[in-house]
Amino acid sequence: MHSTPLEQRASSVEVSNPFCQRREERESLRMASVPVKERVKVSQNWRLGRCREGVLLKWRCSQMPWMQLEGDSLYISQANFILAYQFRPDGASLNRRPLGVFAGHDEDVCHFVLANSHIISAGGDGKIGVHKIHSTFTVKYSAHEQEVNCVDCKGGIVVSGSRDRTAKVWSLSSGRLGQCLHTIQTEDRVWSIAISPLLSSFVTGTACCGHFSPLRIWDLNSGQLMTHLGSDFPPGAGVLDLMYESPSTLLSCGYDTYVRYWDLRASVRKCVMEWEEPHDSTLYCLQTDGNHLLATGSSYYGVVRLWDRRQRACLHAFPLTSTPLSSPVYCLRFTTKHLYAALSYNLHILDFQNP
């Protein structure tokens, strides 16, 4: 059987060390240089919830920031810009002067990803931006009729989801930049999206306002629906964040206050594990270390929760705002030593190396 051009491109990209693998390798190398005693101490601090809280950045106007980490740099959206900051060697502070400022959207940046030395951004202006990190090259193109809520990029392919109830597949190659390969009528607002590591399919998380599952998997080559996940979502159980851990496993969270772990080899109708936010708060974001640690960001009081995926109950909770300044955790990321959480007015850090 002959492979399609998309499958051929996928196989070549997987050999070329994808972004997530590079990040894991960097973390492994970084930890390998740390003495064993220090590694054990940091691991215990995570397990016991011992950390020092701090604020890395502040801004005057309320924002809905998104964030990514790459090496010793942090990228964060503020209004219609994306700013790049360099960490100081301790990883617990930033150089105040940004390394770079990436502009181009007429309204707020809703979401962005890093891929192959590019930033792919989704804007409230209905446009997708392509920014080269180490140059001034920036291109933006009209993608949707309403705001683009989410975007992902792997293997030269971009997928986007919008409030206009469509998901689209785009080419990132220089000769076809901005060319739409597929338009998918999701019949529901798309809040989150992710491409499978195999580059054969992608999953959309929608608002769950129709008579179908908010989690659906689509063929990347044809744009056809392959399957949906789950069967008992209540109305309004929209999926705000999701991520693949492997080609057959993924995590999702959202308005119905649950994190769900799906294994496509076991069942597409029922998740294999779920964790409930104990205060019935919407879950805006999640992150995992690919092993046992799971972190979530809640809608009230800037609460970050840490979970051991082998247990049902939450391990630790860190409220990062007080009542007058209650804010969701819009995005969180962590390394082996630090956790970073983006809220309405601040970028917070939990330092597990020096509690």
Task: Name all contacts of 16-20 with Cβ < 8 Å and 24+ positions apart.
Answer: 18/154, 18/197, 19/70, 19/114, 19/115, 19/116, 20/197
User: Whole-model pTM?
Assistant: 0.89
Mean pLDDT of 86-112: 95
For residue 15, what pLDDT band results from cuts at 50, 70 and 90? very low
The rounded distance, in Å, linking the Cα atoms of 5 and 195 is 17
Q: Give me the pLDDT at residue 32, please.
A: 52
For residue 10, what pLDDT band results from cuts at 50, 70 and 90? very low
In which order are the strands placed within the sheet that holds 190-195?
190-195, 201-206, 215-219, 225-229
Q: Give me the pLDDT at residue 116, please.
A: 84
Instruction: Decide if pLDDT at 287 tops 50.
Output: yes
Contacts of 123 (CB under 8 A, 6+ apart): 80, 105, 106, 107, 108, 109, 110, 129, 140, 147, 148
Output the CA–CA distances (angstroms, integers) from residue 28 to 34, 89, 296, 312, in the order listed.
Answer: 10, 17, 23, 28
For residue 80, what pLDDT band results from cuts at 50, 70 and 90? very high
Mean pLDDT of 8-13: 36
Instruction: Decide if pLDDT at 40 tops 60.
Output: yes
Mean pLDDT of 23-43: 69
Q: Give me the pLDDT at residue 347, please.
A: 97
The rounded distance, in Å, linking the Cα atoms of 218 and 316 is 36
Pick the closest to residue 79 from 117, 109, 43 (CA basis). 109
Q: Give me the pLDDT at residue 68, please.
A: 98
Other CB atoms within a 10 A radius of the CB of residue 7 amount to: 15
User: Considering only 25-34, 111-120, 274-283, which range has the smallest mean pLDDT?
Assistant: 25-34
Higher confidence at residue 177 or residue 123? Answer: 123
Instruction: Decide if pLDDT at 352 tops 90.
Output: yes
**Domains along the chain with CATH numbers:** 63-185 (2.130.10.10), 277-354 (2.40.10)
Instruction: Decide if pLDDT at 268 tops 60.
Output: yes
- Which helix or strand (DSSP H or E) is residue 226 part of? strand 225-229
Q: Give me the pLDDT at residue 175, please.
A: 81
Residues listed for the chain:
355
- Which helix or strand (DSSP H or E) is residue 15 part of? helix 5-15
Q: How many CA atoms lie within 13 A of 278 on its CB side?
A: 11
Phi and psi for 68 in degrees, rounded to 5? -140, 150
For residue 137, what pLDDT band results from cuts at 50, 70 and 90? confident
> 139-163, pLDDT tens digit by residue?
999 999 999 999 999 999 999 999 9
Instruction: Decide if pLDDT at 11 tops 50.
Output: no
